[in-house]
């Protein structure tokens, strides 16, 4: 089934304790699209400047990502993010954020995308997420992501958006920031009172928590010893999850649990190299292979 995503398309500069990369392909919608492309076609809505290398667009197209909703702003500069991981790679600092054309982004959903059944509002200003939602016709499932910047600076817009989504995906620190609750179960319960029917709290190397009115479902992260760059873990997790749901064309509680498992597996690959490099080297069969190992690890 059709899967639409709106979010950032970025050129990232990343510092880890071991290595540095400058101006590599990044962005929430980029990681999401690639991860989802293992399962389904993707319709992408985003914005870049004319400094955006055309090869990135070609690469996405080669993965059946429809880029008809990508605006290229003449004379504009692409969104740039610079981040640094500390010795404990769970800790990240944003060193620089240049919103550039993403700061004045007015998303236009092409006519051919408006009937999308599954919609993911990847990390972007809540107003951009809302504007996208206004242009789609009654989707079957709407899920949003967010981050600390938007919770701090545009909380009212975010609360307004949450009334219109079925699910919210965010990390543990963001869940606490949004709800003023230190306990994640209480935070998740509070989020369900804001609109979403389910929330997925990502906890980095500690896995993920799905919370619905039926209660919690928990998964550990796949234990990889080769963490090179955690950037995009959350977005690739969401891409794997939403791609699987769109492929199955349902989002009942059981399918949602399986989707979380695929999200976990895709994210575990993504962190094994910079940018999208590791994902580019694997296929759907690799995901299923790792999933079988993951299942083995949890039998007791
Ligand atoms: P993640 O590691 O899953 O949180 O995603 C990191 C990606 O999000 C990077 O590729 C960044 O380009 C992008 N990003 C960072 N800050 C923002 C922001 N405020 N809005 C949208 N995307 C962002």
Is the distance from the beta carbon of residue 124 to the nearest atom of ligand 1 less than 6 Å? yes
Range of the domain at 157: 3-297
* Ligand 1 centroid, distance to 296 Cα (angstroms): 33
Look over the chain and give the mean of its residue pLDDT values, rounded to a whole number.
97
Q: Is the CB of 123 under 6 A from ligand 1?
A: yes
pLDDT cut 70: percent of the chain above it: 100
Residue 90 has pLDDT above 90, yes or no: no
Task: Count the domains in the chain.
Answer: 1
Query: Which atom of ligand 1 approaches the CA of 80 most closely?
Result: 12
pLDDT recorded at residue 217 = 97
Q: Is the pLDDT of residue 228 over 90?
A: yes
In tens, the pLDDT along 4-51 reads 999 999 999 999 999 999 999 999 999 999 999 999 999 999 999 999
Ligand 1 pocket, residue 184 CB under 6 Å: no
Q: Please compute the mean of the pLDDT values over residues 241-249 and round it to a whole number.
A: 98
Concatenated DSSP letters for the chain? --EEEE---EEEEEE-SS-EEEEEEE-HHHHHHHHHTTTS-EEEEEEEETTS-HHHHHHHHHTTEEEEEEEEETT---EEEEEEE-SSTT-EEEEEEE-GGGGG------GGGTT-SEEEE-SS-HHHHHHHHTTS---SEEEEE--HHHHHH-HHHHHHHHTT-SEEEEEHHHHHHHHT-SSHHHHHHHHHTTS-SEEEEE-GGG-EEEEETTEEEEEPPP--S--S--TTHHHHHHHHHHHHHHHHT---HHHHHHHHHHHHHHHHHHTTSSTTHHHHT--HHHHHHHHHHHHHHT--
Pocket test for ligand 1, best of 9, 84, 147, 173 (most atoms within 8 A of CB): 147
| Residues 180-210 pLDDT 10s | 999 999 999 999 999 999 999 999 889 999 9
CATH number of the domain at 243, please.
3.40.1190.20
- Whether the per-residue pLDDT at 269 is higher than 90: the answer is yes
Distance 30 CA to ligand 1 centre (A): 10
pLDDT class for 91, splitting at 50, 70, 90? confident
| Ligand 1 near 46 CB (within 6 A) | no
pLDDT band at 1 (very low <50, low <70, confident <90, very high): confident
What is d(CA 197, CA 191) in angstroms, rounded to the nearest whole number?
9
% of the chain exceeding 90 in pLDDT: 96
In this predicted structure, the answer to whether residue 238 has a pLDDT above a threshold of 90 is: yes
> Is there an atom of ligand 1 within 6 Å of 146 CB?
no
60 lines ligand 1 (CB under 6 A): no
On whether the CB atoms of residues 280 and 233 are closer than 8 A, the answer is: no
Mean pLDDT of 242-266: 97
């Amino acid at each position: 089934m059709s899967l639409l995503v709106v979010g950032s398309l970025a050129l990232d500069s990343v510092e880890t304790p071991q290595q540095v990369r400058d101006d590599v392909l990044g962005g929430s919608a980029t990681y999401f699209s690639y991860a989802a492309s293992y399962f389904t076609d993707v319709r992408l809505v985003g914005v870049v400047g004319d400094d955006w290398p055309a090869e990135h667009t070609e690469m996405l197209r080669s993965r059946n990502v429809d880029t008809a909703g990508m605006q290229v702003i003449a004379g504009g500069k692409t969104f740039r993010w610079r981040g640094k991981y500390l010795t404990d790679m769970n800790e990240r600092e944003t060193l620089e954020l240049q919103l550039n054309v993403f700061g004045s982004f007015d998303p236009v959903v092409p006519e051919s995308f408006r009937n999308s059944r599954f919609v993911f509002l990847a990390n972007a200003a809540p107003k951009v997420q809302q504007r996208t939602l206004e242009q789609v016709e009654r989707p079957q499932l709407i899920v949003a992501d967010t981050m600390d910047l938007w919770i701090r600076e545009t909380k009212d817009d975010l609360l307004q958006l949450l009334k219109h989504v079925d699910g919210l995906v965010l990390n543990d620190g963001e869940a606490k920031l949004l709800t003023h609750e230190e306990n994640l179960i209480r935070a998740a319960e509070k989020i369900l009172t804001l609109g979403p029917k389910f929330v997925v709290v990502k906890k980095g190397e500690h896995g993920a928590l799905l919370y619905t009115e039926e209660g919690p479902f928990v998964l550990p992260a796949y234990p990889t010893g080769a963490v090179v760059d955690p950037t995009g873990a959350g977005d690739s997790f969401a891409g794997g999850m939403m791609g699987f749901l769109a492929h199955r064309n349902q989002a009942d509680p059981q399918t949602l649990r399986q989707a979380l498992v695929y999200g976990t597996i895709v994210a575990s690959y993504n962190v094994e190299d910079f940018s999208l490099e590791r994902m580019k080297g694997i296929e759907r069969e690799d995901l299923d292979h790792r999933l079988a190992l993951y299942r083995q690890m949890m039998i007791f």
